[in-house]
A = this chain, B = another copy of it.
């Protein structure tokens, strides 16, 4: 790998944690210089401006999160297993040292979107992707008779995701994984009661 590409990747990697935990406005070029050990010129050699770094940092964090899902989901066979994996991986973002700061989609949507429409659009489209994935798994579960036929896949998918997102933020407020664990256990009970065919 050439030194230039290596430096570019280091800038993205090091600023990704900063943007995820502090948001766009809470992360200055000075913070990025400090985290990368580079001078301003060294950063501007690779990026036009902070916006460009923030967008690539978001993609980097999203990719990291998708990889977390993929590792779990690749082992799953049934729709039920896949749904449970999504729930557990999302809940685990409450105390995750790999994705420092929690779910990058929710974080970016809340922290960075008000002042940065480019990030807002990207967060919204990633959220769509996540909800749609869960919705498809619910439909698969209905079609192969694992799940009850009278579910509303879109509403249920939204409900699962937004409950877990709220729980992950709550866990970060209290610096304690209990709220995320509570959400996971409530959702599992709900699935047992209302979703799985027994």
Contact = CB atoms under 8 A, between A and B. Distances in A.
Contact of A26 (B21, B23, B106): B23
A141 interface: no
Copies of this chain, how many?
Answer: 2
A195 interface: no
Nearest to A27: B25
Interface stretch (A3-11, A52-60, A78-86, A178-186): A178-186
A139 interface: no
A2 interface: no
Interface stretch (A62-70, A142-150, A157-165): A157-165
Contacts of A73: none
B23 A114 contact: yes
Interface of A: 21-26, 101, 106-107, 109-111, 113-115, 123-124, 127, 155, 158-159, 161-167, 169-170, 172-174, 179, 182-183, 186, 190, 193
Closest 3 CB pairs of A and B: A166-B166, A25-B25, A25-B26
